[in-house]
Amino acid sequence: MNTIRSRTVSQTCSHQTSASNMDRPKQASQQIILNRTRFNSIEFETKHVELVLPRGKDVKFSIEITNYGAPIQINLTASNEIEDCVRFLRNDFAAVGKTVVDAAVYIRTQRHGRIAVTAGYGANTDCFNIDLIAEPYQEIDADPSLAVPGGHTLGGCEVSQLPPHPVLKVVAALAFILVILKLFTDLVPGYLGIAAAILLLVILIMYKLFTTSSQ
């Protein structure tokens, strides 16, 4: 197994949350095996971890460490690409037997990086790749049964297009007849003809405004 020299980076994270209140990702853990093949040896259950995480929430990622030999000093380091969103709740400690180290992970977009494990005060270092995958945004499906027939969208809301009232049509027809009679006969008084013309004009304006807003 090749030895990879780790770089010293900070394990600080901007979100301070206890491990008990954090969710777990879809792949919740990684296993590290120490001192099984030789002194200060480091092995991983997998060299590539993928975590599917909710956006904007602290999530607990567990690292299980099994030491088959004498107590050994362990340090965990997140690479520069993920150091701002991975925080180890316990670090730089002596691993004896089986130990579990929890990391708090917080992301808003997909990230890719590495976590390095240093054993024996720098005697050996190895790392594994880690992909932090943000869950897709959930789409809200509208219930078709709530749609209004003949409706249209206004400002993102569904509104119905109400047809002109039948009474309004009758009034408009009468006003039109009165205007015609006033123009071509003397059967209609002058004031009634003027009132009918004004009423007809108002109805036409209202109808125009209604048909324009419904398009």
Q: What is the distance between the alpha carbons of residues 76 and 61, in angstroms, rounded to a whole number?
A: 13
CA distance 33 to 18: 26
The DSSP line for 99-122 is EEEEEEE--SS-EEEEEEEEETTT
pLDDT (tens digit per residue) in 76-118: 999 999 999 999 999 999 999 999 999 999 999 999 999 999 9
Provide mean pLDDT across the span 175-181. 77
pLDDT at 118: 96
Residue 143 CB contacts under 8 Å (≥ 6 apart), including other chains: none
End-to-end CA distance of the chain: 70
The β-bridge partners of 106 are: none
Rounded CA separation 215/206 (Å): 15
The 10s digit of each residue's pLDDT in 123-142 is 999 999 999 999 987 766 65
Asked if 32 and 1 touch (Cβ cutoff 8 Å), the reply is no
CA distance 116 to 65: 13
pLDDT digits (tens, 9 = 90+) for 20-37: 455 555 566 899 999 999
Give per-residue burial for 140-169: e unless 16+ CB within 10 Å, then b: eeeeeeeeeeeeeeeeeeeeeeeeeeeeee
Q: Provide the pLDDT for residue 7.
A: 38
DSSP 3-state of 61: strand
What is the model's pLDDT at position 173?
78
Predicted structure pTM score? 0.55
Calpha distance 21→102 (Å, rounded): 12
Pairwise CA distance, residues 196 & 114, whole Å: 83
Taking alpha carbons only, the member of 24, 77, 25 closest to residue 51 is: 25
Q: Is the pLDDT of residue 200 over 60?
A: yes
